[in-house]
Amino acid sequence: MQIDRSNYEIWLIDWLDGNLNNSQIEQLEIFLKENPGLKEEFEELTTFRLNSPKMLFQHKNQLKKTSRDLSDSQLEYLSVAYLENDLSVEEKTDLLESIEHNKEKKSSFELIQKIKDSANFLSGYQTVRQVGLGRLDMAWHNLSETPLNSVAEFEANATKETDLFPPLKGINTSCAFSHIFHGGYSAGYYSYKWAEVLEADTFEFFLETGVFNKETANKFKEHILSKGGSEHPMELYKKFRGQEPSTKPLLKKSGLLKK
């Protein structure tokens, strides 16, 4: 782009910002010599400075809100974020300090905590039931001899370690277990619970290193999200986590293991 009267102001600004190369600076100097009136404008720009005024604001520290100034809506938002592990250490500290000095806010926080805890109602039963269904699926797909004398008898043997209630005569799960026979989960029903194990153990790693830790996030992206089926899933997980997944984080999340 050649400098002319339609664009010279852009050139002047670029010169002030140090964005012109030697060749462009030479073009600018020639243009100013040919246009003395504009040269005066250029010289005025080079001497113009903005100086910040020296002003003092009394009691400006009072403008900063403290944790005690949280509104009800802010408290509700931060309480939920706290329970979902979405707050930084500083935000958690502010929230807990705010709650500590206000009985009404503390009561609201405890109520939100109870709502979250209610999600684990009957989690022990649900866990055992899912494990039992996974074992039953595996048992059917590991059969080496047929036919069976009794579906009910086979099922009873396969689930005896996870059964919580006495069986009802004439009723069994297998005949209604459509997932594993025509639902596409043949020998893979365990993946329901295994996915929960992986999710909980992965998030535990983020908690250990910091929920917003960039290095951990990059590991997750590199070894989990971007690899697809290029390597064995367990090898990819170990590259991300540094170890095989543990069931303890899921048990803690489900309220079945003390934190």
pLDDT score of 250:
95
Domain of 28 in residue numbering reads as 8-47
Give the HSE-up count for residue 2: Cα atoms under 13 Å, Cβ half-sphere.
Answer: 3
Residue 147's pLDDT is 65
Let me know whether 227 and 203 are in one domain. yes
pLDDT at 96 over 90: no
Residue 229: inside a domain = yes
Computed over every residue of the chain, the mean pLDDT equals 86
Asked if residue 80 belongs to a domain, the reply is: yes
Look at residue 53 and tell me if it is in a domain: no
Query: What are 206-219's pLDDT values in tens digits?
Result: 989 988 899 999 99
How sure is the predictor about 48, in pLDDT bands with cuts at 50, 70 and 90? low
| Rounded average pLDDT over 30-52 | 75
- Do residue 248 and residue 195 come from a single domain? yes
> Which among 182, 200, 215 is the end of a domain?
182
- As a whole number, mean pLDDT of residues 126-130 equals 95
pLDDT, residue 50, reads 58
Specify whether 114 is located in the same domain as 136. Answer: no
Say if 152 falls within a structural domain: yes
The model's pLDDT over 157-166, given as tens digits with 9 standing for 90+, comes to: 999 999 988 8
111-115, 125-129, 146-150, 242-246: the lowest-pLDDT one: 146-150
Instruction: Tell me the percentage of the chain whose pLDDT exceeds 70.
Output: 92
In Å, what is the CA distance from 251 to each residue of 81, 124, 138?
21, 9, 23
Residue 198 pLDDT grade (very low, low, confident, very high; cuts 50, 70, 90): very high
Which two three-digit tokens encode residue 153? 């008898």
Compute the C-alpha angle 187/143/145, nearest 5°.
160
Sequence letter at residue 254: S
pLDDT recorded at residue 128? 95
User: What pLDDT does residue 180 have?
Assistant: 86
Q: What is the mean pLDDT of residues 52-77?
A: 71
Same-domain pairing of 132 and 151: yes
pTM: 0.64
